[in-house]
């Protein structure tokens, strides 16, 4: 299976899982179901346009983005950020193209995202 296929499957599985989420089901348990089958693989999480698979997604860069249109990224925030979804605002400058901010603010938000959310996610599922 190609790296791109793996990341896309996880992104789509996250969208489906959020729609079918059982009351009280934790984000971490959902991520475990989605990601465990791909443990240790090198997934490419780039997001592609649903209307044209040869083009970048028009809103998000990656399925891992802390953005409402990236279900996998939102589950990651909920599961790994120190205060869950309450921390979402501090990551937004790195992912929301409509948010005004300096390069420094965007870099700071991306650094926080990596340390708080992406690194623990990658370690848990051994994604390189």
Residue pLDDT, tens place only, 61-106: 899 999 999 999 999 999 999 999 999 999 988 887 666 667 788 8
Which of the pair, 102 or 108, is modelled with greater confidence?
Answer: 108
Instruction: Specify the pairing of strand 48-49 against strand 52-56.
Output: antiparallel
Q: What is the average per-residue pLDDT within 99-118?
A: 87
Share of the chain above pLDDT 90, in %: 61
By CB atoms closer than 10 A (0-12, 13-18, 19+), residue 12 is middle
Band of residue 39 on the pLDDT scale cut at 50, 70, 90 = very high
Rounded to an integer, the average pLDDT of 48-73 is: 85
8 Å CB contact between 58 and 50:
no
29 contact partners, CB below 8 Å, separation of at least 6: none
How many angstroms separate the CA atoms of 56 and 40, rounded?
A: 25
pTM for the full predicted model: 0.90
List, as own/partner pairs, every contact residues 104-113 make where C-beta atoms lie below 8 angstroms and the sequence separation is at least 24, other chains included: 113/66
Is the pLDDT reported for residue 8 higher than 70?
yes
């Amino acid at each position: 299976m190609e790296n791109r296929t793996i990341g896309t499957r996880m992104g789509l599985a996250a969208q489906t899982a959020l729609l079918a989420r059982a009351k009280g089901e934790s984000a971490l348990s959902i991520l475990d179901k989605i990601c465990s089958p791909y443990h240790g693989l090198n997934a490419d999480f780039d997001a592609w346009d649903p209307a044209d698979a040869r083009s970048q997604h028009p809103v998000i860069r990656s399925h891992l983005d802390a953005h409402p249109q990236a279900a996998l990224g939102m589950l990651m925030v909920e599961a790994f950020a120190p205060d869950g979804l309450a921390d979402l605002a501090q990551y937004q400058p790195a992912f929301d193209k409509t948010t005004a901010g300096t390069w420094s603010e965007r870099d700071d938000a991306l650094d926080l995202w990596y340390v708080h959310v992406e690194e623990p996610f990658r370690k848990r599922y051994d994604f390189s």
